[in-house]
Amino acid sequence: MPRGRDCAASSRKVAEVEDTLATGGQWERSYSQTMRCLVIEDDAETARYIRGGLEEAGYTAVVCRNGVEGLHLATNEHWDIVILDRMLPGGVDGLSIVTTLRQLGKQTPVLILSALASVDERVRGLRGGGDDYLTKPFVFAELLARVEALLRRTGVREDVPELRVADLHLDLRMRKVWRAGQPITLQPREFRLLEYLVRHQGQVVTRTMLLEAVWDLHFQPQTNVIDVQISRLRTKIDKDFAPPLLHTVRGAGYMVCAHD
């Protein structure tokens, strides 16, 4: 896709963010689906194609395009499934990522996506720790079916119906929140933000992580979108309660925890 069209799309996305904040309106996208997919694919068009299809199917998809970043994300964050290419730039290939995951004891399902289509290469990928192997070119319907099969096989879908930290309770199925037994009304974006923070309770969550996971933005918008939403969320979950749960970690990001 030409660079000019990418820039125009980015500008439209910023405008959508600002319009939503200004009007308090709800985004069209559904937030009932909590499955998080990491897509490690260096070809920009293929990555956009996969991410777009996954998001249309209701998943949250984060894309990275080199092996080093892919290894960092795969090993340092929680993912319900990883889709990765065998051949990646950056000095770290797909098999190295899978091998490292398994050596660390992580059982995250991995779907290997590769143009290396020979039987020997497919066997190598599966024996190297991959759970499934899909060759390029592929049809997205088959990729999605394989993703769904892996999630069913590993039993991750809807495994965690609720999240808690101190007296804060999130019901992920009903999309409702209570603190100290009192219901708290959140907009869909606020719920998604709180869910992400609570899933990472006790960890520093950076602004980049929030932009990618909650807003699906892979660039820094020239707005204070995160600051505004964090402020709104803090007012709702902390203002009339103790102890405060949502903390700003200066120069790093944000953290949800029950201690100052």
CA separation, residue 228 to residues 17, 161, 240 (Å): 11, 28, 19
Q: Does domain 162-256 have CATH number 1.10.10.10?
A: yes
Pairing of strands 176-179, 168-171: antiparallel
What is the rounded CA–CA span in Å between residue 30 and residue 56? 10
- Residue 82's closest CA among 95, 199, 141, 183? 95
What is the rounded CA–CA span in Å between residue 198 and residue 153? 26
- Which residues on adjacent β-strands are paired with residue 134? 113
What is the rounded CA–CA span in Å between residue 4 and residue 108? 37
pLDDT of residue 14: 39
Task: Locate 244 and state its tokens.
Answer: 């405060």
CATH of 29-154, one of 2.40.50.140, 3.40.50.2300, 3.30.2320.80, 1.10.10.10: 3.40.50.2300
pLDDT of residue 155: 56
Ordered per-residue pLDDT tens for the chain, 260 residues = 334 444 344 444 434 433 433 333 332 233 333 588 999 999 999 999 999 888 888 788 999 999 999 999 999 888 999 999 999 988 899 999 999 999 888 889 999 999 999 999 999 999 999 999 999 999 998 999 999 898 887 654 444 678 899 999 999 888 899 999 999 999 989 999 999 899 888 888 888 888 877 887 767 777 789 999 999 999 999 999 999 999 999 888 899 998 75
pLDDT of residue 34: 58
pLDDT of residue 216: 74
pLDDT of residue 160: 60
pLDDT of residue 13: 42
In this structure, what are the phi and psi dihedrals at residue 54, rounded to the nearest 5 degrees? -65, -40
pLDDT of residue 21: 34
- Residue 5's closest CA among 48, 55, 43? 48
- Is the pTM above the cut of 0.75? no
Domain boundaries, given as residue ranges, for the chain = 29-154, 162-256
